[in-house]
Structure 1
Amino acid sequence: MTIGQFSERTGLRPKILRYYEEVGLIVPCLRSANGYRKYSESQVETALLIHSLRQADVSMSGIREFLTATPGRRDELLAEWRSLAEIKLLSVKIANQFLQGFDSRTKRMHLVHWDCSRTVAWFSVKEIGWGASLPREVWRMCKEKFSPSMIAERAGYVRFAEAGEEAGTLQPEIGFVLENENQAPKDGRLEIVPPTLFATMSCSWDLPASCKPILSTIARFQFETVGEPLRKIAFRDERNYTLMVPVLIQGKHSGRSENNDSRSEHFRAAWHLRNGRGR
């Protein structure tokens, strides 16, 4: 078939076919003496497959690997692409929920995206200060554990993770994002945090309830928490911090499930523990 006939057979414009040839995805089976492209019947299905995968937002390199992969590797690639597609759908859903629930007259909640995995070194502490003393405590620990080049941000994170088997027991932890996981102190516990979307709100140490609106705001936006909330504490800022609530984690899908009630209770427990209740 000529490129015109092949275009009619596949429904793909000649311009698209030439582009797929240029990037090495589908090459005419032969060239005639005068340079015309010739395609075979067996290439129809390949062309349609390539175009279908492109419409599904699969990368050129991914398609190229898929075309030459073994059946087992093809199954692996399909599983990866399905997972990515689901994440994209959830991201669009969350964006829609954010825009639908956004109210410029109320205290602002923002979306913050960690678009790549981050390595965090966590350190358990028996007791933790609160208010303006906490940034100083986080800064002191950072200087004790790290040199400036070892951390990726001039900030630390505080969270209250479940401790042991006793229900309702929360263990305070201070964490730092590392530049290189191989430089982590021996007494730190490393965690690889996958790409994550957070609902965030700026809070004040002077007003313990300043972040309380985020609870009702998350409900109004119909978000579901999918992990422990973090408090981001910028070094030397003794007035403010940022509450970060994960609402989408790559590999951990949001949406209502039997575990959401327990996650919500955990979130509220961590909230009350450090905002005037349960102490």
Structure 2
Amino acid sequence: MMSIAQFAERTGMVPSALRFYESKGILVPAERLENGYRYYGFHQIHEAKLVNSLRQSGISLGDIRCFLEAEESTRSELLARWRREAEARLLSVQIASQYLNGMEPGRGSLHLINWEEPLTVIWQPFLVDKPVNSYSREMKQAAARLHDLNIRTQGSSLIKVMDSLPHAVLIEVGYQICTESSQKPTPPKTPSEAYLESIPPTLFVSVDSSWEDTFACMRTIRFLQKFGFEPAGKRLERHYPDSPIFEIMIPVMQTRFS
């Protein structure tokens, strides 16, 4: 048996950390004397080093406790999830590095936007005649249809540009629906042909644009190339009522893994 000081030396941990893990029920001494002295067994060295290594890897105390108590199959599932989360953190750091390396003093042409929670969006298709200088009419029509269906929405309008035809643009207008509405059945496909989409937590790069900026898409692509970003899905546009400015948002990574 080893005292807490001896065990700390053997495991590379400090006594205060061992006491903390004991208080959380994760690493309990093999023996506790009446005078309060703690003694650890040699068989606990591996477990202590494992706990410390998992903590250094960013694993929560709750997950560590589950891992220590779990069967092999559950441990495999936890390890797979932790690997995905570690890869996501690594990618997030890489994106932060790309963004900072691409920035120039006094210029804020590109931004990062993180949707931290999943969204449920209801989309409706529209065919907009060219030349296009606003989606206000389509946004109002989409909102009115949802109101008629008693579907509550929140936030600004989202736009997907699906196709550019010779004389028109095919778009989809989306609104985030409230939690209460998301529990209701999918709205009728006709006449609006509406459909629901669940958008996971996502990190976007964003560029402000206007209807007079005819080179917005090309400029966005140049920004992506300059900052070294790779698109991870279809671009979205976020529009606000009566505002000449809208955002072009391009997803670069999902920020949460199940």
How many residue pairs end up in the alignment? 243
Could you say which residue in structure 1 is the equivalent of 2:166? none
Question: What does 1:1-279 align with in structure 2 at a 5 Å threshold?
Answer: 1-106=2-107, 108-127=109-128, 131-146=132-147, 150-153=152-155, 155-161=156-162, 172-180=171-179, 181-183=182-184, 185-187=187-189, 188-210=194-216, 212-234=218-240, 236-250=241-255
Structure number with higher strand proportion: 2
Structure 1: runs of 5+ lacking an equivalent: 163-169, 253-279
After superposition, the C-alpha distances for 1:197-241 in whole angstroms (9 at most, x for unaligned) are 11101111233334542211110111111111101011x234111
Change beyond 3 A, Cα 1:30–1:203: same
Q: How far has the Cα of 1:49 moved from its partner?
A: 0.7
3-state SS of paired residue (1:227): coil
Distance 1:76 1:160 in 2: 39
Report the Cα distance in structure 2 between the residues aligned to 1:66 and 1:123, rounded to whole angstroms: 45
Cα distance, 1:149–1:29 mapped onto 2, change above 3 Å: farther
Q: How far 1:149 moved relative to its partner?
A: 7.9
- Cα distance change, pair 59–149 in 1 and its aligned pair in 2 (3 A): farther
- Report the CA distance between 1:11 and its aligned residue: 1.2
Question: Contact 2:237/2:248 (CA < 8 Å) preserved in 1?
Answer: yes
- CA–CA separation in structure 1 for the residues paired with 2:251 and 2:19: 44
What amino acid is the match of 2:229?
A: F
Runs of 4+ displaced beyond 6 Å: none
Cα distance in 1 for residues equivalent to 2:74 and 2:124:
40
Q: TM-score, normalised by structure 2?
A: 0.85
| In 2: Cα distance, 1:105 partner to 1:43 partner | 56
Give the RMSD, CA atoms, in angstroms.
2.4
SS in 1 for 2:249: strand
- Is the alpha carbon distance of 1:225 and 1:44 closer, same or farther for their aligned partners in structure 2, counting shifts above 3 Å? same
